[in-house]
């Protein structure tokens, strides 16, 4: 567990930072009851990523992939933001244009908490995208038909999610790069740090001289690189930083 001294040090770093960037992963939503991917109860424990989270899987069996997303929508719809999400909203309101949040989470809980200055780099489970005309729209229906169709062009809709092997959106990559290069403090919260490009963000921030603080239940491949590792639950540690 993070010690009082470590928390105090992190608070000081945050208080004296000019530009703060935050990267979050499934660990921040785990405290709201949303399953992570790689933990013992994680999604990849029971499902194979290749069968569900790749463009090839969708091409082969769109019905199966939509069933999985319908199940996850149902689950996430019952969850609420937790004190860690809420603290990041407070931070945004204090820091305004000196803060940017990058999340790998698709659950929408940061937006539900009130965060507005954010990039959802892996997409959002409450949005759909047409495989024909490319139009992206918000859709909160539960369940969606297992083969939902576009009202405009009648092609199949897909979840607006970045799957393995797909490139992230150019505008998101540009915004993240800007935020990482501008920050003097990067907080990395609840991510295993194994999925690229986000797994490389701590290195980018270090290269421009930023201080990096990690908050996680466990060590990660980035723990040796960061300046301070705070062990504990996001919902307990993050609120102590403000």
User: Which residues bind to ligand BJW, rule: CB under 6 A?
Assistant: 25-27, 30-31, 36-39, 42, 53, 104, 106, 122, 161-168, 190-192, 194-197, 216-218, 220, 233-234
Helices (H), 98-192: 109-113, 170-182
Written as six digits, the tokens of 27 are 């660990």
Query: Residue 196 binds what, of ligand BJW, Zn ion, none (CB under 5 to 8 Å, by partner type)?
Result: ligand BJW
The neighbour count for residue 172, using CB atoms within 10 Å, is 17
CB 199 within 8 A of CB 214: no
Q: Select from 132, 197, 232, 239 the one that contacts Zn ion (CB under 5 A).
A: 132
Helices (H), 96-183: 109-113, 170-182
Main-chain dihedrals φ then ψ at residue 138, nearest 5 degrees: -75, 140
- What is the nearest approach in angstroms of ligand BJW to the Cβ of residue 117? 19
Q: Does the annotation count 122 as an active-site position?
A: yes
Q: Which of 85, 110, 122, 160 is catalytic?
A: 122
- What is the nearest approach in angstroms of Zn ion to the Cβ of residue 152? 4
Instruction: Tell me which residue has tokens 């949303």.
Output: 34
The neighbour count for residue 206, using CB atoms within 10 Å, is 17
Q: Select from 8, 77, 142, 152 the one that contacts Zn ion (CB under 5 A).
A: 152
- What is the nearest approach in angstroms of Zn ion to the Cβ of residue 128? 10
- Closer of 42 and 55 to Zn ion (Cβ): 55
Would you mind telling me the total number of residues written for the chain in this entry? 242
- Annotated catalytic sites, by residue? 122
Which residues form the interface with Zn ion (CB under 5 A)?
Answer: 130, 132-133, 150, 152-153, 155
């Amino acid at each position: 567990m993070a010690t009082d001294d470590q928390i105090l040090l992190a608070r000081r770093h945050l208080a004296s930072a000019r530009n703060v960037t935050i990267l979050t992963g499934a660990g921040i939503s785990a405290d709201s009851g949303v399953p992570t991917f790689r933990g013992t109860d994680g999604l990849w424990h029971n499902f194979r990523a290749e069968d569900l989270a790749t463009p090839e899987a969708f091409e082969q069996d769109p019905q199966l992939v939509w069933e999985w997303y319908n199940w996850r929508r149902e689950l996430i719809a019952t969850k609420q933001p937790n004190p860690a999400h809420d603290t990041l909203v407070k931070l945004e309101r204090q820091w305004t244009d000196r803060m940017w949040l990058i999340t790998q989470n698709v659950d929408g809980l940061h937006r539900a908490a009130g965060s507005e200055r954010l990039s959802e780099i892996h997409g959002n489970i409450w949005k759909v995208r047409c495989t024909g005309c490319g139009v992206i729209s918000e859709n909160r229906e539960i369940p969606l038909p297992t083969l939902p169709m576009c009202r405009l062009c009648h092609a199949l809709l897909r979840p607006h999610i970045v799957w393995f092997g797909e490139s992230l959106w150019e505008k998101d990559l540009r915004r993240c790069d800007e935020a990482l290069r501008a920050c003097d403090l990067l907080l990395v919260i609840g991510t295993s740090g194994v999925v690229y490009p986000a797994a490389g963000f701590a290195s980018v921030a270090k290269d421009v001289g930023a201080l990096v603080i990690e908050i996680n239940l466990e060590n990660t491949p980035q723990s040796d690189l960061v300046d301070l590792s705070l062990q504990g639950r996001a919902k307990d540690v993050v609120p102590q930083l403000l």
